[in-house]
Amino acid sequence: MISRRDFLQVGMAASAVLGASGFGNWARLAAQQSLTQDQLLEFDTFGNVTLIHVTDIHAQLKPIYFREPEINLGVGAARGHVPHITGADFRKLYGIEDGSPSAYALTYNDFDVLARSYGRVGGMDRVATVVKAIRSARPDALLLDGGDTWHGSYTCYQTAGQDMVNVMNALAPDAMTFHWEFTLGSERVRELVEGLPFAALGQNIFDQEWDEPTEEFPPYKIFERGGAKIAVIGQAFPYMPIANPRWMFPEYSFGIREDRMQEMVDEVRAAGADLVVMLSHNGFDVDKKMAGRVQGIDVILSGHTHDALPEPVLVGETIIVASGSNGKFVSRVDLDVRDGRMMGFRHKLIPIFSDVITPDAEMASVIDAQRAPFESQLSEVLGQTDSLLYRRGNFNGTWDDLICDALIEEREADISMSPGVRWGPSVLPGQDITREDLWNVTSMTYGKAYRTEMTGEFIHTILEDVGDNLFNPDPYYQQGGDMVRIGGMGYAIDITKPQGERISDMTLLKTGEKIDPAKSYVVAGWASVNEGTEGPQIWDVVESYIRRKGTVTVTPNTSVKVSGA
């Protein structure tokens, strides 16, 4: 593990790259109720170039609660390194006081208590305030969006991404890359991309038939900023046709395409780029591996795995910046770029405390306009919750436990499955559950809830397959989601074993019997990647369940036994 001090020393030893992170400890200020916008934005402008990074917004226009993961296990070389450090260990690593605003923003402990004192986070009107403030200090700052922007809410679904396009156009990024956007279907993606006033980048977005680069998604764009030439190379999510339904964007192929990334870096360097930035939707561990293998990238702006890190991670002379998700953070990176190289940086992960940062009025009105046609649908109360509802974590979250319970009861199944996605805000105990809350954790273009029979052997194969996508020790074989969530069945997993040997002790919870490989079980699930999946939409299934219960209570889930962590 690189400690903060090591990090600085490594930086100095490795090269002229000098770094500093403006990571504040605001505990005392907050105790005095005096945490201010100025303190959150405080930054001594440095060097000649500024990058602003937002990523994985998942269509969250309004402030939300978002609990960070308790369980985020690393395997192989990643074991015990950020971002695979959570809770008290994370606070210790970065010197964060228990109960402080940073503890609330970056770790999971006492979440419901801290959420009540520090309030909601995010909101694109607050993000706009932060972006404008940075631009007033550095008017030619580059704003870069790492993707997963046009997905994840009721209004985004109903407008097929138009609400987010309108809001982001008002925020005026300089470039963007992609993942869930493609689940709008390739035709809609092309339609939206054609109208974008900024660059849609992806060096790894290929034509499927000819295995050649596409015209719609150029690999990079070179900007002139602060007297320097800055190349931004896009890297879309490599495993879209595997993790999401391939039939929705059959014309496209993705992949890591490391060799081409190197070619693109060499090409932009030859074209005179002084600074090479990779705008990535690889996921953190993949970015880390790529940083060590592709030569000549100065800055990786990392997305997909939703990690929020208060300091960049240094690999060789490349810094990797991870900016969280759901609009909860904005990263500011100031760089000293001279003589064709990055000489130093200053970085700050800015948490968007929605009660501290004043909403930008212009953006607030753009957001209101997107939501106005749907306001009565969004605000309709479906029920209440007694429990904290959250999703993030490798194995289960209470939102998914609730969804799995709903699938078993509403669809009369033995076992239920919910995809291990990392998006979806939290709801506090005692709060109403609105339709907006439910759609924030379920909305997608392939949300139909299937009901089918699977043998015990096939269920085992699925768990092994997904387990290897998460725990393969080689990051290039990881897809970046979490483990598929299971209702009605317990199992044990040894994350250090190879595929085929990780999962054991599969037990049907309602009878306590071992799962029989040869026997068929009724399984209800959603988000199948297969074309032609039939069933009701998942949000209708869960809405009906919540309405029937009135108040939902989710008991702690202890049905997954993890070893090897």
Partner 1 sequence: MSLTRRDTLALGIGAVSLAALPLRANAAVDDAIAAFTGGAAVSDGGVDLNAPEIAENGNTVPIEVGADGAAAIMLLAAGNPTPSVATFNFGKLAGAGSASTRIRLAGTQDVIAIARMEDGSFKRAQANVKVTIGGCGG
Residue ranges that bind partner 1, judged by CB under 8 A: 180, 208, 211, 237, 239-244, 246, 253-256, 259, 419-423, 461-462, 465-466, 468-469, 474, 476-477, 479-484, 499, 527-529
* Cα–Cα distance for residue pair 358/52, rounded to 1 Å: 19
Give the residue with the Cβ less far from partner 1, 100 or 282: 282
Buried b (16+ CB within 10 A) or exposed e, 427-439: bbeebebbbbbbb
* Cα–Cα distance for residue pair 483/388, rounded to 1 Å: 20
Give the residue with the Cβ less far from partner 1, 255 or 316: 255
* Cα–Cα distance for residue pair 515/169, rounded to 1 Å: 52
* Cα–Cα distance for residue pair 406/368, rounded to 1 Å: 32
Contact 422, 469 (CB under 8 A): no
Contact 232, 279 (CB under 8 A): yes
* Cα–Cα distance for residue pair 400/408, rounded to 1 Å: 12
Q: How far is the CB of 460 from partner 1 (least distance, A)?
A: 12
* Cα–Cα distance for residue pair 14/546, rounded to 1 Å: 56
Can you name the residues that pair with 51 across neighbouring β-strands? Answer: 142, 333
Question: Residue for token digits 């040869």?
Answer: 518
Q: How far is the CB of 254 from partner 1 (least distance, A)?
A: 7
Q: How far is the CB of 430 from partner 1 (least distance, A)?
A: 29
**Token pair recorded at residue 409:** 């009861």
Give the residue with the Cβ less far from partner 1, 209 or 432: 209
Give the residue with the Cβ less far from partner 1, 472 or 507: 472
Give the residue with the Cβ less far from partner 1, 22 or 185: 185
* Three-state secondary-structure class, residue 519: coil
Q: How far is the CB of 112 from partner 1 (least distance, A)?
A: 25
Give the residue with the Cβ less far from partner 1, 74 or 467: 467
Give the residue with the Cβ less far from partner 1, 174 or 468: 468
Q: What CA–CA distances, in Å, run from 405 to 150, 408, 412, 431, 542? A: 29, 5, 10, 20, 9
**For 525, phi and psi rounded to 5 degrees?**
-155, -175
**For 372, phi and psi rounded to 5 degrees?**
-50, -45
Q: How far is the CB of 144 from partner 1 (least distance, A)?
A: 21
Q: How far is the CB of 533 from partner 1 (least distance, A)?
A: 11
Give the residue with the Cβ less far from partner 1, 40 or 506: 506
Give the residue with the Cβ less far from partner 1, 363 or 538: 538
Q: How far is the CB of 422 from partner 1 (least distance, A)?
A: 6
Q: How far is the CB of 108 from partner 1 (least distance, A)?
A: 19
Q: Which helix H or strand E contains 489, and what residues bound it?
A: strand 489-494
Give the residue with the Cβ less far from partner 1, 122 or 480: 480
* Cα–Cα distance for residue pair 91/520, rounded to 1 Å: 46
Name the nearest CA neighbour of 198 among 226, 179, 159, 171. Answer: 171
Give the residue with the Cβ less far from partner 1, 39 or 461: 461
Q: How far is the CB of 239 from partner 1 (least distance, A)?
A: 6
**Token pair recorded at residue 50:** 């500024």
**Token pair recorded at residue 446:** 């392939």
Pairing of strands 341-351, 18-21: parallel
* Cα–Cα distance for residue pair 253/498, rounded to 1 Å: 28
Q: How far is the CB of 342 from partner 1 (least distance, A)?
A: 29
Amino acid identity, residue 493?
I
Q: How far is the CB of 469 from partner 1 (least distance, A)?
A: 7
Pairing of strands 560-563, 449-455: unpaired
Q: How far is the CB of 380 from partner 1 (least distance, A)?
A: 26
* Cα–Cα distance for residue pair 295/307, rounded to 1 Å: 24
Q: How far is the CB of 479 from partner 1 (least distance, A)?
A: 4
Give the residue with the Cβ less far from partner 1, 225 or 391: 391
**Token pair recorded at residue 144:** 């870069």
Give the residue with the Cβ less far from partner 1, 409 or 464: 464
Pairing of strands 175-176, 142-145: parallel
Q: How far is the CB of 333 from partner 1 (least distance, A)?
A: 26
8-state DSSP, 469 = H
Give the residue with the Cβ less far from partner 1, 174 or 401: 401
* Cα–Cα distance for residue pair 19/119, rounded to 1 Å: 32
Conformational region of residue 455, where left means phi above 0, alpha means psi within -120 to 50, and beta covers everything else:
beta
